[in-house]
Homo-oligomer: A and B are copies of this chain.
Amino acid sequence: MSLDSRDRETPGALPLDETGSDAVSQRDFRDAMASLAATACVVTAGHGANRLGRTVTAALSLSVEPPAILVSIDARSALAAIIRDTHGFSFAMLSETQGPVADAFAGKQAAEHRFDYGDWQDWSSGRPRLLGAVAALDCAVIGEMEVSGHILFVGGPREIDLDPSRKPLVWHQRQYHAVNPL
């Protein structure tokens, strides 16, 4: 965590003990993390002309009571700022056919062109609602903390779209994968 990020007025900012953190190379670490197969997801926020979004794989189910998911967003990003300002985010687990959406929101398209990819409507909150996903959740931010240059947003789902018949788009070893039951 940089001094700069620590200086921000973030609730729950967590200082890290980085003693000896150079014991492994960044390259080995990146390669290990590339091995962690994960669903390609898109986190969006805002509404209308002020929508923003980003492809993420850093998301997890935090608890069932209360229902809560956790997503990690770059603390310096405009997306983190808009999530904080609007107290919510929309979360979509992409389906196998939504590779172009994943690519666009991963940065292959500029911010203003990303919503040209995928079929978007609005949740009742006004936040972006992606159709055709395996699951999509409109979330209110119910907690947040900053750690290591990232904001961990805890989202409490307010609305859920779900189609378990769709297959997920999985990111693994720096390419898209499909899943099949063993």
Contact = CB atoms under 8 A, between A and B. Distances in A.
Interface of A: 11-12, 14-21, 23-24, 26, 28-39, 41, 57-70, 72, 93, 96, 99, 134-135, 137, 140, 142-143, 145, 147-150, 152, 154, 156-160, 162, 164, 168-170, 172-173, 175-182
Contacts of A28: 160, 162
A162 to B, nearest CB: 6
B67 A62 contact: no
A67 B21 contact: yes
Of A35, A72, A168, the most chain B CB neighbours within 10 A belong to A35
Contacts of A152: 70, 152
A18 to B, nearest CB: 5
A29 B137 CA distance: 9
B172 A177 contact: no
A60 B172 CA distance: 13
21 contacts: A11-B14, A17-B142, A19-B142, A21-B68, A24-B159, A29-B160, A31-B162, A32-B93, A34-B164, A57-B61, A63-B150, A65-B149, A66-B148, A70-B152, A99-B182, A143-B147, A168-B172, A170-B170, A172-B179, A178-B179, A180-B180
A76 to B, nearest CB: 12
Given A32-B93, A32-B137, A169-B182, 9 more contacts: A26-B64, A28-B160, A30-B64, A37-B37, A37-B168, A143-B147, A176-B181, A177-B180, A178-B179
